[in-house]
Structure 1
């Protein structure tokens, strides 16, 4: 029997005008649904604090060694479930729930300006949108230079790109928690399928190289 694929999914605690954070509500809904029987799902609520992210994410990656980490955040501007292509190192000037922001305004001193996920978000978006789910996905190049972007950058760095970030709209604008949970599930299944194809391709290449 194949070993289970480990997936971490995080949402955020309330902040600012978001007294209920739809990202954590959606993640809890996903946990209730389950991804599928081949997935070992671990969920976690992340504080809206830069320093908490700095200590929490390395321990999550180290303890669980996931194949994929998916971070979910709320965007008051979003009207679709939005997949983020990449994350940025600089520009973190907005204060967190503790009234703190990094003095350098960046995630990682001397880190690359931008890190991309190994996942093809356009392909994930297209597949889920074509599946008749009833929830619309879109793709974005800018995760917003706040805790969402900061978390994504840290996770992409730690996981060598095996990470995704999904922005969800506030609850009821337009989607229910159940719809958001189903959208997360569909996107994660598609991402895992993509990683499996990618890994199979790499294995074939390695075998091919050994024989030559």
Structure 2
């Protein structure tokens, strides 16, 4: 089995992105699967092109995109991506789409094809906080998940795709509000590893406790 894991470059004035820092620290093999680690630009158009290029090059069985969600207190496994680009701030190329579809011929939304609940369970079993999220936002993170699922539906049959959001690193919250949550890099790496193990196993759970009320 081959797994592609992507993380974004820094954006929004940050000097580091915990997503790619954690992705780089993942093992090269996990539970018999080859782990290919690549960086995505935090830019709507270039991230879509880069992701498609990686899929063509590697032909993975699974793609897991990872992104930063500043202000979140725990790792979040995303359930759904929507066909909408609506950027509060410009991306790293200066693009700031408002109320635009990501794909003219795409569905309104696509659901993750990874075992989301099992991934949350696995992270929690490792002693780390994690939850299912039902919105990946409308910025480049949502675009990456949407494009991965769109490409799986249109061009790469059998490809399973999903997305995980991770918190700030401790160094990123220096100078921010004192209550801004963060997570050390080793804990983020451990969370991603556990989530990946569940994704590779591919067995979903029906446990309702991993959901949220929002």
User: TM-score per shorter chain, which class?
Assistant: 0.7 to 0.9
* 2:106 alignment counterpart: 111
Please list the CA deviations of residues 150-179 of structure 1 after superposition, one character each: whole Å capped at 9, or x if unmatched: 011001111236111000000134421111
Q: Is 1:186 matched up with 2:194?
A: yes
Deviation at 1:113, TM superposition (A): 0.8
Deviation at 1:57, TM superposition (A): 1.4
* 1:124 alignment counterpart: 119
SS of the equivalent of 1:159 reads: helix
Q: Is 1:13 matched up with 2:13?
A: no
In the alignment, the residues of structure 2 paired with residue 34 and residue 179 of structure 1 have an alpha-carbon distance, to the nearest angstrom, of 18
Please list the CA deviations of residues 81-120 of structure 1 after superposition, one character each: whole Å capped at 9, or x if unmatched: 0000010102423421111134771210131111001223
TM-score between the two structures when normalised by the length of structure 2: 0.81
In the alignment, the residues of structure 1 paired with residue 186 and residue 28 of structure 2 have an alpha-carbon distance, to the nearest angstrom, of 12
* 2:168 alignment counterpart: 170
Q: Is 1:40 matched up with 2:34?
A: yes
Rg (Cα) greater in structure: 1
Matches within 5 A, 1:3-152: 5-30=1-26, 33-36=27-30, 38-94=32-88, 95-102=90-97, 105-129=100-124, 131=125, 133-152=126-145
* 1:208 alignment counterpart: none
Deviates more, 1:115-124 or 1:148-157: 115-124
Please list the CA deviations of residues 44-64 of structure 1 after superposition, one character each: whole Å capped at 9, or x if unmatched: 111111111121111111111
In the alignment, the residues of structure 2 paired with residue 70 and residue 153 of structure 1 have an alpha-carbon distance, to the nearest angstrom, of 12
Runs of 4+ in 1 over 4 A off after TM superposition: none
Structure 2 unaligned blocks of 5 or more = 154-158, 171-180, 205-214
SS of the equivalent of 1:191 reads: helix
| Corresponding residue to 2:151 among 149, 158, 164 | 158
In the alignment, the residues of structure 1 paired with residue 203 and residue 127 of structure 2 have an alpha-carbon distance, to the nearest angstrom, of 25
Deviation at 1:138, TM superposition (A): 0.7
In the alignment, the residues of structure 1 paired with residue 160 and residue 96 of structure 2 have an alpha-carbon distance, to the nearest angstrom, of 26
In the alignment, the residues of structure 2 paired with residue 195 and residue 99 of structure 1 have an alpha-carbon distance, to the nearest angstrom, of 41
Greater helix proportion: 1
* 2:212 alignment counterpart: none
Deviation at 1:145, TM superposition (A): 0.4
In the alignment, the residues of structure 2 paired with residue 102 and residue 76 of structure 1 have an alpha-carbon distance, to the nearest angstrom, of 21
8 A contact 2:40–2:51 mirrored in 1: no
SS of the equivalent of 2:198 reads: helix
